[in-house]
Amino acid sequence: MYNELPAKEHQAIEEALLHDPELASICADLLLAQRTLNELQRGPRESTTRSILQYSRTFMQKS
């Protein structure tokens, strides 16, 4: 999934995927899930950022 294996083990897994359709299907599902998760937004929503900034301004106005 993350290309972390040594070349020899990587080759063994590729062989297994070629000869085991169920394993290949599971691997394909995992790769799709990985790709989907990698595309997710990683950060707060704009409304959350606005709320935090608005809240922080209440402290600045009191000083």
In angstroms, the CA 44 to CA 56 distance is: 16
In angstroms, the CA 11 to CA 3 distance is: 11
Give the per-residue pLDDT at 48: 94
pLDDT digits (tens, 9 = 90+) for 6-56: 999 999 999 999 999 999 999 999 999 999 998 887 888 899 999 999 998
- Torsion angle of the four alpha carbons 5, 11, 15, 21, in this order, in degrees rounded to the nearest 10: 30
pLDDT digits (tens, 9 = 90+) for 22-35: 999 999 999 999 99
DSSP code string of 4-61: -S-HHHHHHHHHHHHH-HHHHHHHHHHHHHHHHHHTS--S--HHHHHHHHHHHHHHHH
pTM (two decimals): 0.57
Give the per-residue pLDDT at 63: 54
